[in-house]
A and B are shown apart, each in its own frame.
Chain A
Amino acid sequence: MSTNSVIATQPRSPQPSHSPSSQQSLPLPPQPMPPQPLPLPQPQPPQQQSLPLPAPAPLPPSPQQQSHLPSQQSLPLPAPALLPPLPQQSLQQVHPLPLPLPLPLPQHVGQPATAPGRAPSARAGLVARWLAWRWSGWTSPLLLLALWSAATSLGWAPEQILVSPLQVLHTTWELIESGELRQHLEISVLRLAGGFAIGAVAGIGFGLLLGLSPGLRAYTAPTFNVLRQLPSVALIPLFILLFGIGESFKIFIVVKATFFIVALAVHDAVAGLSERYIEVARVYGFTRWQIVRRVVLPGIVPATLTGVRIALSRSWMVLVGAELLAADSGLGQMMEMARQMFRLDIVMVGVVLTGGIGYALDRGLRWLEAHLMRWQRGDRENT
């Protein structure tokens, strides 16, 4: 900053007046320069104050200047030479350009730059301002809620089928008070956590092996690719026969839903790694394990996190589906039982909660993804 300010003040020094003389006396590298004294804005000191300073920063000899400050008068200063013969107007045109260095611009400099920017946003009107508002993300949920309320209060559907939002809220409260909701939620979340942890760890491990070992790929890829095409929901009856309808069945269905998505994401990430990284690592004499640990693993983190996030929301859906079909507890079972009891209000509570929890899980992992990948963002900002 201090150097900048030094540089910035430099053109204001009276040296431009000396430059012509120095030019004549010393042999300079050939410059595309008029032989006549530069038409620098010499006679307008008052205007100079109001004018922005035109990028004096890229002046290459600035350190030189600083070091030779005492002998400034005798030395040839190439600095003014680099400055194009800018008339006053062209200086004004330059100033809105992004300066390569954060110069402490005077207040009045910024004003002309922002003024033209503000005008279109004012013209864009209500919609743009609405979208710019920080709560505008609530637009569609609130519209949906309004539509739902309107549909129930106007009786578009029978009350037994379309329950009002207020009734759903009321039922939610009842379920919370009775402890029923907590019991169902707990077991569902436990199943999800268990199955997801197993599936994700196994998926990462298998995906890595598949990506790194051509031999394993040759043996297992066809089977893997066929199995991953099977929709988890379609496997529910088979899983019931294999594992019964106890906890293991639900955990395995979540494992299945998670494993293939994560394994595929990791495998693709490994396959997509640039061969050059590996080559460079080999040049450095990395062992195989070092290549995996220091090149492959860090390289696949972004794609793996995305795969894990997709797998989590998918396995949540599959779990609720499995609970709908065969379970004695859990959110899906609460909904299924309620449907049998013709209590569509409880079903709606389940629907809203399933969506809400799925959304929260996804947002949570997105946040984690952003948090873990912050080095990448920082990297980008620095470059």
Chain B
Amino acid sequence: MFDSFVVKRRGALAVLALSLFSLTGAASVASAAPAAGLPDSVRIAAVARNATGGKALFAGSSALVASQGWLAAELGKLGVKLEWLPVTTNSVAVQVNEAFANKSIDFAQYGDLPSIIANASGLKTRLVVPGGSLNNTYLVVPFNSTARSINDLKGKKIALHRGRPWEYPFSRLLAANGLKSTDVRLLNLNPQAGAAALASGSADAFFTLSDAFLLEDKKIGRVIWASKTPPQDWKMRAELWGSADFLAKYPQLAQLVATAYVRAHQIASVDSGRDEYIQAEAAAGQPESVVRRELDGDTRAWKARWSPLLTAEVKAHYAAEALYAKQSGLIAKPLDTSTLYVPQFVDQALVQLKLQQYWAP
């Protein structure tokens, strides 16, 4: 009896020791120490729509980069892990800027105006891969509203989440109609609260992204303006930004990240890529019909919409937007946007992928 107990115990100990050994062994194989001077991981923040059930479903080109797996594999060869940080649509700008400030991310795919605000307040981030022009913005009024254009909303209450990338297109819309921001009453509401305000009748209009179509489907709202036909400069932009520190310290890793995004852009920009992109967005929690309506009817060709080139148009957009941010009091001091660009990463990526002639500048 006693003997068998001892034997059992010894056996158990041996099994335990063996399993511990094998576990540590496996762990050390799986996470091969990063090459000298490299960080353990590269952390990228991206919008995740329905991150329920513990699974983050990313949206936009980050979803493509994540699903293609190329970047994770390339970084893995160097012993560096790829980490995705999901941020919710309700407050992408705030979450990403705070994450950049406390150094918990290295890259983020997010909007233009939040990046201007971040840099104006002393953070140092750089535009690594321009994101093209994929997002449109919409002006929604209550379903039974008589308003037909922004001119009918003079003096009315308009829900708009301040400091988000769609604020600039809204300011263009006002200016083009000879209105000032004081001609309407802005309600600073996040997209969820804005939709609720429209539904409850406490807002006369709501300026937002493609969630406008959801309101239309529920017969709560009616889209009276979309950013599809006006000049491309009006459009909001969402792109890949990187921490200036990280870019200076690990240009090799930053290049891999940039190349992965340019690669994803190229794969999506072919004609058949359109359907794949729609499927990916639908998988990320957007109804397919909403994605289709969001993409339809845009004046710019599909391939050109994925252009990662840092064109004069992009630079002009940022210069004008920074000026707007200063004038409207969003930032306290003027920002020189010419310091924000690091085009060498995209240039290098285009060379690596032999795509120098793919997108017309």
**A161 at the binding interface (Cβ < 8 Å):** yes
Mask of B323-336 contacts with A, CB within 8 angstroms, 1/0: 00000001110000
Chain A residues with CB under 8 A of B23: none
Residue B81 CB within 8 A of the other chain: no
Beyond A243-B200, A244-B201, A337-B162, is A158–B101 a contact (Cβ under 8 Å)? yes
Docked pose: A254 CA to B33 CA in angstroms: 55
Q: Give A242 to B94 CA distance when docked, in angstroms.
A: 28
Bound Cα distance from A245 to B196, whole angstroms: 8
Distance to closest chain B CB from A215 (angstroms): 37
Q: Mark A204-236, 1 if CB is under 8 A from B, else 0.
A: 000000000000000000000000000000000
Interface size class of B (residues with CB under 8 A): 35 or more
Q: In the complex the two chains form, is A161's CB within 8 Å of B193's CB?
A: no
Tell me the complex Cα distance, A245–B118, Å. 29
A341, B193: Cβ atoms under 8 Å? no
Flag if A245 contacts B117 (CB, 8 Å): no
* In the assembled complex, B93 has its CB within 8 A of some CB on chain A: yes
The answer to whether A160 has its CB under 8 Å from any CB of chain B is yes
CB-CB under 8 A for A341 and B331, given A158-B103, A159-B122, A160-B121: yes
Question: Which A residues are CB-close (under 8 A) to B189?
Answer: 245, 326
B208 interfacial contact with A, CB 8 Å: no
- In angstroms, Cα B121 to Cα A161, docked, is 11
Cβ of B121 and Cβ of A326 under 8 Å apart? no
A241 contacts which of B164, B190, B199 (Cβ < 8 Å)?
B199
Contact residues in A for B161 (Cβ distance below 8 Å): 340
Q: Do B188 and A240 touch across chains, with their CB atoms under 8 A apart? A: no
A207–B281 Cα distance when bound, in Å, is 53
Answer whether residue A343 sits at the interface, using C-beta atoms and an 8 A cutoff.
Answer: yes
- Give the CA-CA distance A261 to B228 in the complex, in Å: 52
Q: Given A340-B93, A340-B94, A342-B117, does the pair A240, B187 have CB atoms closer than 8 Å?
A: no
* Chain B CB within 10 Å, residue with most, of A161, A240, A246, A340: A340
Tell me, yes or no, whether A333 is within 8 Å of chain B by CB: yes
Q: Does A339 contact B (CB under 8 A)?
A: yes
Contact of B118 among A241, A244, A336, A342 (CB under 8 A): A342
**Residue from A245, A340, A343 in contact with B197 in the complex, judged by beta carbons closer than 8 Å:** A245
Give the residue name and chain of the A residue nearest to B193 (CB): A326
Complex Cα distance A69/B271, Å? Answer: 126
Contacting pair A244 B200 (CB below 8 A): yes
Interface flags, A338-349, vs B, CB<8A=1, else 0: 011111000000
**Contact code string B150-194 (vs A, CB < 8 Å = 1, else 0):** 000000000001111000000000000000000001111110110
Q: Is the CB of A160 within 8 A of B162?
A: no
Q: Is the CB of A160 within 8 A of B93?
A: no
Interface size on A, residues (CB 8 A): 25
Interface check A325, CB cutoff 8 A:
yes
* CB-defined contacts of B123 to chain A, threshold 8 Å: 160, 342
**What is the bound-complex CA distance between A325 and B193, given in angstroms?**
8
Chain B positions within 8 Å of A158 at CB level: 101-103
Chain B's interface: helix, strand, loop or mixed, by majority? mixed
Chain B residue, CB-CB nearest to A345: B121
Cα(A326)–Cα(B161), bound, Å: 10
Q: Are A245 and B200 in contact (CB under 8 A)?
A: yes
Q: Which listed residue, A237, A244, A326, A340, touches B162 by the CB 8 Å rule? A: A340
Residue B313 CB within 8 A of the other chain: no
User: Do A341 and B102 touch across chains, with their CB atoms under 8 A apart?
Assistant: no
The yes or no answer to B259 lying at the interface (CB within 8 A) is no
| CB closest chain-B residue, reference A244 | B202
Is B42 interfacial (CB-CB < 8 Å)? no
Interface set, chain A 242-274, CB cutoff 8 A to B:
242-246, 249
Q: CB distance A341 to B200 under 8 Å?
A: no
B203 lies within 8 A of chain A by Cβ: yes
Q: How far is the CB of A346 from chain B (nearest CB, A)?
A: 11
> Which residues of chain A from 148 to 200 have a CB within 8 Å of any chain B CB?
157-161
B102:A161 contact, CB within 8 angstroms: yes
B202 touches A245 (CB 8 A): yes
Assuming the A-B contacts A158-B101, A328-B185, are A339 and B202 also in contact, with contact meaning beta carbons closer than 8 angstroms in the complex? no
For A337, the chain B residues whose CB sits under 8 A away are 162, 188
Contact of B202 among A237, A246, A333, A341 (CB under 8 A): A246
B205 to chain A, nearest CB (A): 13
Decide: B93 and A161 in contact? CB cutoff 8 A.
Answer: no
Say yes or no: is B97 at the interface (Cβ < 8 Å to chain A): yes
- Interface membership of B276, Cβ < 8 A: no
Once A161-B101, A240-B193, A341-B331 are accepted as A-B contacts, the answer to whether A336 and B199 lie under 8 Å apart by CB is: no
Q: What residues of chain B lie closer than 8 Å to A246, measured between beta carbons?
A: 202
Interface set, chain B 84-115, CB cutoff 8 A to A: 93-94, 97-98, 101-103, 114
Most buried by B among A159, A244, A325, A326: A326
A328 engages B187 (CB within 8 Å)? yes
Query: B residues engaging A (CB < 8 A)?
Result: 93-94, 97-98, 101-103, 114, 117-118, 121-123, 161-164, 185-190, 192-193, 196-197, 199-203, 330-332
Complex A-B: 13 CB contacts under 8 Å: A157-B102, A158-B102, A237-B193, A243-B200, A244-B197, A244-B201, A245-B193, A245-B196, A249-B202, A326-B196, A326-B197, A337-B188, A340-B93
| Known pairs A161-B102, A341-B331 / 16 extra A-B pairs, C-beta < 8 Å | A160-B121, A237-B193, A240-B202, A244-B200, A245-B203, A326-B187, A326-B193, A337-B188, A339-B94, A340-B117, A340-B188, A341-B330, A342-B94, A342-B114, A343-B121, A343-B332
List 3 tightest A-B contacts by C-beta distance, closest first.
Answer: A244-B202, A340-B163, A244-B200
